Chain A
Amino acid sequence: MTNSKISFKKFMDMCFKTSEPLEKQQSQCGCETNDKFAKVNSFASESNQACSSKQCGCSSTNSLMSKKVNRRQALSALLGAVAVSCSTAASSTSISQEKDKKEHKKLEWEEYFKGNYRLMNGSERKKTIERLERISELKKHNATISGQLPQKNVLYGYAFNISKCRGYQDCIRACVKENNLDRKENMQYIRIFEMENGNLNLEDGKADYFHEVPKDGHFYLGTQCFQCDNPPCVAVCPVGATWKEEDGIVVIDYDWCIGCRYCQAACPYWARRFNWQEPEIPSEQFNTDQHYLSNRPRPKGVMEKCTYCLQRTRKGLLPACAEACPTGARIFGNLLDPNSEIRYVLENKQVFRLKEELGTEPKFWYFMD
């Protein structure tokens, strides 16, 4: 699957081409220049008619600065102008195709300069989602991307019944499909460990078993992201590309991640995955029901992780893994609701968590019947 990123090479190309046309524009000030910048301003989310042809004469940069645009938008607009004037030069294929291509480029350009999703306000979030949906449409994927906020008074928790799991791995398959995971590299968020009876040491478990299950004398234990309440991965991120949402889910802004993989080193549960290459998903299996913070397609070179399927759970559905489990080993619910099943498990069963001594406060418990 492809991404909404302009590749580094393209970026560099555009940067190097910057100086020449910019000088030309400044030297021959007049209506033409203003037209160009009127176009540019429509890029920046705030204003459309910064420098109309009537007020001709004012220098184009001034018109930009007089509007209240933030640094990033100004930069985007300035460079965008150059990019557009460059791209107009090349044209060969049919008009509509060319138009789509141009629009695609323009959208990707704007996406490149957007901010951190956590810090965006409502309208900025709406705009980036609109752009991403349009890009998806241009790519003929037609995904709908939601920006649904966390529900009030909800804190998600998960419980895993060790005595019920039979190691069928239906959860893994459902997860891969639901979350548009990379099929080429066979990426999986969930790991099911086959453990010998009498030993709870994960190190002795086997996550890569290929035989009929359940195997005699064994039990099965699943791991995934535990959505820690005190997540070490969030603290270490140098750019704040990952954070904990109100409903307790640790999410990643895929477009903000720089791919340093410090979070991957910091996670004590090995829950984070990196896109070592451009992810590939067969188009017939592409899940178009997406959320900005979860299962929308990821570019190469960024981190991703389990989000308890927040595209589903925020709508009141179960995560795909919990829904797919044929044995009922997976219990999911709202920790703040005293009548929820998860609360029943926590209050009536003997539960434990992995590596509690690290102080990460995972919201994922194990229990036995």
Chain B
Amino acid sequence: MTLLSFIKAAIKTSFRGDKKYIFWMSTLFFFMFIGFYCWTIQLREGLQVTGMSDHVSWGLYISNFTFFVGTAAAAVMLVIPAYVLHDVSFEKTVLMGEGIAVASLLMCLAFVTVDLGSPQNIWHMIPFIGYFNFPESMLAWDVVVLNGYLMLNICIPFYILFCHYQNKKPITKLYLPFVYLSVFWAVGIHMVTAFLYAGIPARPYWNSSLLGPRFLASAFAAGPALIILALDAIQRATQYEIKSSSLDKLAMIATVAAQANLVMLVSELFKEFYWPTEHSHSAKYLFFGYKGYNALCLLVWTSISLNVIATTSLTIHKLRKNKLIRRMSCLVLFLAIWTEKGMGLVVPGFIPSPLGEMVEYFPSKIEIFVTLGILALGLFVFTLLAKVAINIETGKMRLIETEKTGNIKN
């Protein structure tokens, strides 16, 4: 009964809000609807409506999937200080981090689903009913780790919030083991996603042992940057108290990770260009253009410049302490890593093709709208989760004692 009243209260909370909230949610819903409609077109006509081809067979969808696995994994940067190191300033923010993880994971699953040619056959993946090629296929691993991480990130905050809702104190012993598990799992999801690419000898651009560590570094830069932006937004929109010391620490984490990411970028560039081999053609295409094809050059150089600017301004203490500059730097850093690790990683892996043919990729309108729809879905889910969590934490949404006794009588 308590669970039922919790769900009822949660639904009530999520549907009620001021005008701004309603406007924000209906805008997101509108984009989701457009995206869904475009997906139905794609289902009817086939993937020919996308910009992908036999040469570049993964595009915008898988790029975004790869990136948002990173932001999901970054929740661990809040989980470690909050639960493991018992840093009090993170107590309030960690729930938001977990909300971002859930939203990111749902986006990831949505991106993979829309990328499938035959999504109606997805049940073939269910073990026992279908056939799950585990442990051979890294994609099977990815399905396991992503869903497992999703479960962890739903269950832990749910337990804590549910206890708070009942005005009880959550039992630490009960959830702490899962917290520890989720810390390792977070690293796992991003490493496995990197292995998805790194395990393919056919594509030398991805077939690198640096890919996994670089994924982690970029995730722990872009993820906290996103969390800072989200917390800033929450702070402005609600009365939820977020300690500025936690934001400072988060910014510090993002900074260090962004620096490590740049070091690895330099290492990668050195390896590709000091003595270019046949395996450097993709990198050559990405950074300087190859055989007259250079669709990604502008994108990648913009991204790298933004990355350097953001990392520098975050590195300088004075600038990082300034709220406005910090916010701007985080936004820039997030966008820079998004483009570089998304399109900048996935697409050049296919160009040139293994037989040396040059075919470029440009996302189609349908692809862009579906992607926007999924991004809106992520924001939508995060807003809902955050709203419920905030209402519980601030004491607005709590089980009322009289109601409780009334239930018992029934």
* Chain A residues with a Cβ under 8 A of chain B: 5-9, 11, 71-72, 75, 112, 116, 119, 185, 191, 193, 201-205, 207, 223, 232, 235-241, 255-262, 264-270, 272-278, 299-303, 355, 358-359
Contact = CB atoms under 8 A, between A and B. Distances in A.
A261 B46 CA distance: 14
Contact of B119 (A8, A235, A266, A278): A8
B380 interface: no
A207 B55 CA distance: 13
Contact of B124 (A203, A241, A272, A355): A241
Contacts of B133: 237-240
B130 interface: yes
A264 B54 contact: yes
A265 B120 contact: no
A203 B280 CA distance: 13
A294 B271 CA distance: 43
Contacts of A267: 202, 354
A205 B40 CA distance: 40
Given A258-B124, A278-B46, A269 B355 contact: yes
B239 interface: no
Contacts of B131: 116, 119, 239-240, 256
A236 B137 contact: yes
Contacts of A259: 47, 116-119, 121
A259 B116 CA distance: 5
A265 B356 CA distance: 14
Interface string B327-359: 000000000000000000000011011111100
Contacts of A274: 47, 54, 57, 117
B355 A191 contact: yes
B58 interface: yes
Interface string B22-42: 000000000000000000100
B201 A232 contact: yes
Interface of B: 40, 43-48, 52-55, 57-58, 112, 115-122, 124-125, 128-133, 136-140, 143, 196, 199-203, 278, 281, 349-350, 352-357
A116 B54 CA distance: 25
Contact of B132 (A232, A239, A262, A264): A239
B117, B130, B278: most-surrounded residue (chain A CB, <10 A): B117
20 contacts: A5-B118, A116-B131, A185-B48, A202-B356, A205-B356, A232-B201, A236-B199, A238-B139, A260-B115, A269-B354, A274-B54, A275-B46, A276-B48, A277-B45, A277-B48, A299-B118, A300-B46, A300-B117, A302-B118, A359-B201
A264 B47 CA distance: 15
Main secondary structure of the interface of B (DSSP, over half): loop
B124 A5 contact: no
A238 B203 CA distance: 19
Contacts of A203: 278, 281, 352, 355-356
B320 to A, nearest CB: 39
A183 to B, nearest CB: 14
A277 B49 CA distance: 9
A93 to B, nearest CB: 24
Nearest to A358: B201
A266 B122 contact: no
A240 to B, nearest CB: 5
A183 B350 CA distance: 25
Contacts of A277: 45-48
Given A236-B138, A258-B119, A276 B355 contact: no
A256 B354 contact: no
B58 to A, nearest CB: 6
A261 B58 contact: yes
A232 B137 CA distance: 10
Contacts of B353: 270
A5 B139 contact: no
A90 B43 CA distance: 25
Contacts of B125: 238-239, 258
B139 A72 contact: no
Contacts of A300: 46, 117
Contacts of A71: 128-129
Given A265-B203, A302-B117, A302-B118, 10 more contacts: A116-B130, A238-B140, A256-B131, A259-B118, A260-B112, A260-B117, A262-B196, A276-B54, A277-B45, A301-B47
